[in-house]
Amino acid sequence: MTALMTTPPPAASSRELAHLSDESLLSLVASSDENALAELYDRFGRVAYGLALRILRDDALAQDAVQDAFLAVWRSADRFLAERAKASTWILTLVHRRAVDLVRREDRRRADPLESAPEPTAQTTAEDEATLGFQRRVVQEALRRLPPEQREALELGYYGGLTQSELAERLGQPLGTIKSRMFTGLNRLRDLLAQAGLEESLRA
């Protein structure tokens, strides 16, 4: 029996990577393929940055959160393989976690996290812009269609970085009510996005 090839394998070229699924890219990242990480960043970096900026309201901190998250992807992609999530969910969950950790540490949570994010600027191709703008509208529309108290719980929690207890205090509601608004709100959001038949258009 002959010894087989061992790592590091030569990295795939970026042209080849463009055709791989997000999940396949993550398996390559798990084998320390730097080009695969670059490709994942090209796919999710902008959404990640937009999210971090919305939560942190500070460019330098938002960049820190995105950098931390992508390095966590780099270091722990092998863990992802043991899970049942989509790659996009896994990556954006890491970004969200970092941003929320940072906003709590910096105590930068704003009184009004409901204010929406800045409009996209025209730094990319018209096609990218159109796709992202469309996805953004889809999600915002789904949020608008939630009962206001559910939308509020999701927005203050997800974009505002508030804990459930802080939310309960702020809204003057029992903790159980907050939990159930979050639960029902997330389930309804999922249904609304699915109903709109827009699952495929969103990477997450």
Window 70-99: residues binding other proteins (CB under 8 A): 70-72, 74-76, 78-86, 88-90, 92-97
Work out how close the CB of 183 gets to other proteins at its nearest, in angstroms, rounded to a whole number.
Answer: 4
* Buried-exposed string 131-149: b where 16+ CB fall within 10 A, e elsewhere: eeeebbebbeebbeebeee
Question: Which phi-psi region, left, alpha or beta, contains residue 57 (left: φ > 0; alpha: ψ -120 to 50)?
Answer: left
Give the residue, chosen from 140, 145, 147, 174, that forms a contact with other proteins under the rule CB under 8 A: 140
Nearer to other proteins, 97 or 110 (CB): 97
Selection from 106, 54, 102 nearest residue 94 by Cα:
102
Here's the x/- map for other proteins, 11-40, by CB under 8 A: it reads as: xxx--xx-xxx-xx--xx-xxxxx--xx--
Nearer to other proteins, 39 or 172 (CB): 39
The interface with other proteins within residues 160-199 (CB under 8 A) comprises 161-165, 167, 175-176, 178-180, 182-183, 185-187, 189-190, 193
Give the residue, chosen from 5, 105, 112, 197, that forms a contact with other proteins under the rule CB under 8 A: 5
Q: Taking CA 177 as the corner, what is the angle to CA 160 and CA 96, rounded to the nearest 5 degrees?
A: 25
What ranges make up the beta strands (E) of 109-172? none
The interface with other proteins within residues 101-130 (CB under 8 A) comprises 116-121, 123-124
Nearer to other proteins, 10 or 172 (CB): 10
User: Do 51 and 96 touch, CB atoms closer than 8 A?
Assistant: yes
Q: Please list, in sequence order, all residues whose beta carbon lies within 8 angstroms of the beta carbon of residue 115, skipping any fewer than 6 positions away.
A: none
Work out how close the CB of 12 gets to other proteins at its nearest, in angstroms, rounded to a whole number.
Answer: 4
Give the residue, chosen from 57, 58, 61, 66, that forms a contact with other proteins under the rule CB under 8 A: 66
At 8, is the secondary structure helix, strand, or coil? coil
Which residue, chain included where needed, has tokens 């999210």?
A: 51
